Amino acid sequence: MESGQAHAVSASSGPSGEGAAMNASALAPADNSKTPGPTGDRATGPAGLPGPAAQPGGPTNLTVLLIEDDPAGSLNVPELLDSTGKPIRVRTARNLTEAQRLLTDDVNCILLDLALPAPARPTDTDTEAADCPEDELFVLKHVLRLAPRHAVLALTDSGDVERGTEAVRVGAQDYLFRDEVDGRLLSRAIRYAVERKRSDTAERRLTESKLRAQENARLERGLLPTPLLEGSSLRFAARYRPGRSRALLGGDFYDTVRTPDGTVHVMIGDVCGHGPDEAALGVELRIAWRALTFAGLCGDELLSTLQRVLEHERESDEIFATLCTVDIAPDGRRAGLCLAGHPAPLIVRHGRGIRPTQPADLLPHDNGGPALGLLPNARWPRTQIELGAAWSLMLYTDGLIEGRIGQGKERLGQDGMVEMVRRQLAEGLRGEDLLRAAVNEVRDLNGGELTDDVAVLLLDREG
């Protein structure tokens, strides 16, 4: 790609390629007028034209389609060689219909005579000609529509710089003066036009790729949850890191809302797998959970309904999702916990100061049910939890505990995660700082980026 870009710059030694056209005489050999040209070897190369001799029967790298309507061959196209000395094959079309027939995939560049007359009756696709029947660049515009992936060199009368410049503005790679064409200039112009077209195409594809990536990022960002905690005294923090490279959304999902009765509902889940299909299913489950929560469902009834949603939306019967839901009473002292194959949350109970009165520990998790999608008639009991006056509740996905420790096979696990959080709390970390430190330390222990999605939530209540 770098060489193609260098060629494109070299070919534009003046506005719109004017330098390449005006320096034709400087590029031609000093004794061109005395050097006899090939005789009878090519239909497009009349005798007496300068240029290096072609290698008979040699392989051809480039193919050029010349579109000009003079049967006498007044346009002098000499023998051409590419940069490796191999002959450039030239085809000739006398009109646009013949050009369309000869325009095969092996054509690299089109030499278009701008003096070629337009068809008497434009075709249905010639919308520009229908609007502007006297457009002098109609033929060029038609060829550009006919061959959008091909390099195009425009040939114009000597001194007609304005028309040549307009041709480049419309879409041609360069322009040349018809009566100043020689072998060296034309060979170089063809090579530069082909490379410039490749460079332009690569740049356009890169730009399109960036735009698609930006659109996808906006879409994924819009699918991430916005907590609805208006009227609640609880503080909320979250960290989310997809395992997929350059993705914003993974198979982990979470949400938290406050219903009109003052109850705060929080949920975190994990769809098995890491691809875009799993990410989409996670979004569907999160939205369904929010809708069902506002509809008044809770506990086993809510999870049973979510399982039916998953069974209808998943791509394969092997897909399942783990889930943890917590509903916190309006007074903030009690909560209901449901686990569907998901790791139990971690709780820290505080006193009046910032120091915890009890070490961080896991909530009871012996009464959970299976992951969603595994057993058709499963049940998910709701466990009542006493939270206390001041507490911090951390929900997480298994990406936080399944990272490895160093180069071995040992994983952090829930016990290691609990010890890590206890130490970070002792260091005075809270809220966003605590979550950031936890995720960063897990990544460092793993020896690099985690391959699994990671989602961590933290709810705090001050006494």
pLDDT in tens, 22-68: 333 333 333 333 333 332 333 333 333 333 333 334 445 788 999 98
Lowest mean pLDDT among 11-20, 104-113, 300-309: 11-20
Q: Which residue has the tokens 């469902």?
A: 297
Geometric angle at alpha carbon 280, from 275 and 283, rounded to 5°:
130
pLDDT recorded at residue 223: 77
pTM (whole model) above 0.75:
no
**Domains of the chain, first to last:** 2-207 (3.40.50.2300), 224-461 (3.60.40.10)
Confidence of residue 444 (pLDDT cuts 50, 70, 90): very high
Burial 420-458 (b: 16+ CB within 10 A, else e): bbbebbeeebbeeebbebbbebbeebbeeebebbbbbbb
Rounded-to-10 torsion of CA 191, 196, 198, 199 = 140
Helix (H) or strand (E) holding 145: helix 138-146
Give me the pLDDT at residue 386, please: 96
What percent of the chain has a predicted confidence (pLDDT) above 90? 48
Q: So what's the pLDDT on residue 134? A: 63
| Long-range CB contact pairs, 23-26, < 8 A, 24+ | 23/185, 24/176, 24/177, 24/180, 24/181, 24/182, 24/185, 25/180
* Rg of the chain on CA atoms, in Å: 36
What pLDDT, on a 0 to 100 scale, did the predictor assign at position 448? Answer: 86
Average pLDDT over residues 303-330: 97
343-371 core/surface letters (b: 16 or more CB in 10 A; e: else): bbbbbbbbeeeeebeeebeebeeeebbbb
Residue with the bigger pLDDT between 35 and 208: it is 208
Query: What distances in angstroms separate CA 30 from CA 227, 359, 438, one per listed residue?
Result: 78, 92, 75
Contact 458, 435 (CB under 8 A): yes
- For residue 369, the model assigns a pLDDT of 96
Helix 431-446 / helix 413-426 crossing angle, nearest 10 deg: 130
Q: Does position 186 have pLDDT exceeding 80, yes or no?
A: yes
- In sign, the C-alpha dihedral spanning 357, 361, 363, 366 is negative
pLDDT of residue 243: 78
Q: Which amino acid, residue 424?
A: Q
pLDDT digit string (tens) for 350-385? 876 556 667 899 998 888 999 999 999 999 999 999
Structure tokens at 458: 């933290």
CB contact set of 441 (below 8 Å; sequence gap of 6+)? 420, 424
What is the Cα–Cα distance from 168 to 114, expressed in whole angstroms? 12
